[in-house]
Amino acid sequence: MTHAVLVDVVRLASGKGKPGGALSGTHPVELLAHVLRTVVERTGIDPAQVDDVIGGCVQQAGEQALNISRTALLSAGFPDSVPATTVDRQCGSSQQAAHFAAQGVIAGAYDMVIAAGVESMSRIPMGTAPMGRDASGPGIAARYPEGLVNQGISAELIAAKWKLDRDTLDAFSAQSHQRAADAASKGLFDKEIVPISVTNAAGETVAHTVDETVRGATTAEGLSGLKSSFYSEKDAARFPEAQWHITPGNSSPLTDGASAALIMSEEMASKLGLTPRARFHSFAVAGDDPVFMLTAPIPATKKILARSGLSIDDIDAYEVNEAFAPVPLAWAHEFGADPAKLNPRGGAIALGHALGSSGTRLLGTLLNHLEATGGRYGLQTMCEGAGMANATIIERL
């Protein structure tokens, strides 16, 4: 059997996804081009040998339209002969890109692929691409006559169902910032973050190397004063069980970012004299209730554990994307997961959630943690719009 291995993975430090954010002055094509170019430079591969570039991006509109992965690889200087495609599995888009890349290698269709992702939420805000009932058609309206809801409402429903109170959500969120700040202070992100030149507010060209979304001084007490983000009388009437605990403090921030992973067969890595860092062990994807929307990491994890033959106790670290605090907390409750292994370097509440980039961002953070701690198996899972989730298990080599 051909094994798919992970040779390198890089990302940009997060930028606040609003005007004035560190990456907001840079076109998203150039964000993605930068990480693609860096993968080539760091590994010394000939880009002409890349069989495909598979990129994730959610808001494929405006500057992110028209197959941004192909545009970015051309901007990065790759040969014209290298193809690319851009996929959308909502927040899991680049995790799905990694799945497609690794599965293509295992199937023998590829020898070498780059999986990547990008999102500039400052320049292409959420809602730029068609969303909601207008993009769904009459069949969805008939099936869900009360209407689907935004993800914030879904997070409220999860908090209510799993009885997660405001103090628990805020404590988890503060811990995310504290863990991320501690990891940064120890240089634990240095292996994955690659510098990019940006223009700051003073008009100076500087290297952006530090996650702009991390606030190490965050406390649960400080977060407790924030008001609910999603309360409305209409939704309160429809969902009387909701307690309206979701705030900006226990949600992931709007974020700009890009990331990329070099994936190839073991044979190709050996031929090129490259040392694989991990192999892809198992894959799963699952759907769940689109109103609860963010619960699919639970069935996806059940599926991947069954396929892999591993138990949750065999896993040395879990990266469960922190779109909202209730998501990883409900997941952990369902599996009796060790809190110390859950997002040990902080999660998206601190590090940001640049939608299309987050999958390969989590992959890099997970890999580097396994390498630093000597862990063998890592599990990554990501909630996705409309009630889906990807799950991936990697094995450190």
Q: Are 85 and 69 in contact (CB under 8 A)?
A: yes
Q: What mean pLDDT is reported for the chain?
A: 97
The answer to whether 232 touches 256, Cβ cutoff 8 Å, is no
Domain ranges, residue 349 = 280-396
Q: Examine residue 372 and state whether it is found in any structural domain, yes or no.
A: yes
Residue 44 binned pLDDT confidence (cut-offs 50, 70, 90): very high
Record the tokens describing residue 396, joined without a space: 């450190």
Find all residues with CB under 8 Å of 272, minimum gap 6, and list them.
Answer: 45
Task: State the average pLDDT over residues 15-25.
Answer: 97
In a domain, 234, yes or no: no
132 has pLDDT over 80? no
Q: What residues contact 236, with CB distance under 8 A and at least 6 apart?
A: 242, 244
Give domain status of residue 339, yes or no.
yes
DSSP, collapsed to helix, strand or coil, labels residue 384 as: strand
Catalytic one of 3, 34, 57, 91? 91
pLDDT in tens, 150-200: 999 999 999 999 999 999 999 999 999 999 999 999 999 999 999 999 988
Q: Is there a domain that residue 286 lies in?
A: yes
**Structural domain total, the chain:** 1
Exposure of 338 in the CB half-sphere (CA atoms within 13 A): 12
Judge whether 163 lies within some domain.
Answer: no
C-alpha closest to that of 96 among 116, 67, 110: 116
Q: Is residue 71 part of a domain?
A: no
Question: Does 126 fall in a domain?
Answer: no
Contact assessment for residue 366 and residue 359, using Cβ atoms and an 8 Å cutoff: no
Can you tell me the mean pLDDT for 348-354?
Answer: 98
Structure tokens given for 171: 């404590």
Per-residue pLDDT at 131: 52
- Name the active-site residue from 3, 177, 245, 353: 353
Residue 354 lies in a domain: yes
Longest Cα pair distance anywhere in the chain, in angstroms?
A: 63
Q: What is the pLDDT of residue 127?
A: 85
pLDDT for position 137? 85
Among this protein's residues, is 383 annotated catalytic? yes
CA 261, CA 16: separation in Å to the nearest integer? 23
Mean pLDDT value of segment 358-381? 98
Tell me, yes or no, if 57 is annotated catalytic: no
**112-127 confidence digits (pLDDT tens):** 999 999 999 999 998 8
Give the span between the Cα atoms of 83 and 378, in whole angstroms: 30
Q: Name the pLDDT band for 133 (thresholds 50, 70, 90).
A: very low
Express the helix, strand and coil content of the chain in percent, nearest 5 each.
40, 20, 40
CATH number at residue 306: 3.40.47.10
- Chain segment 377-393, per-residue pLDDT in tens: 999 999 999 999 999 99
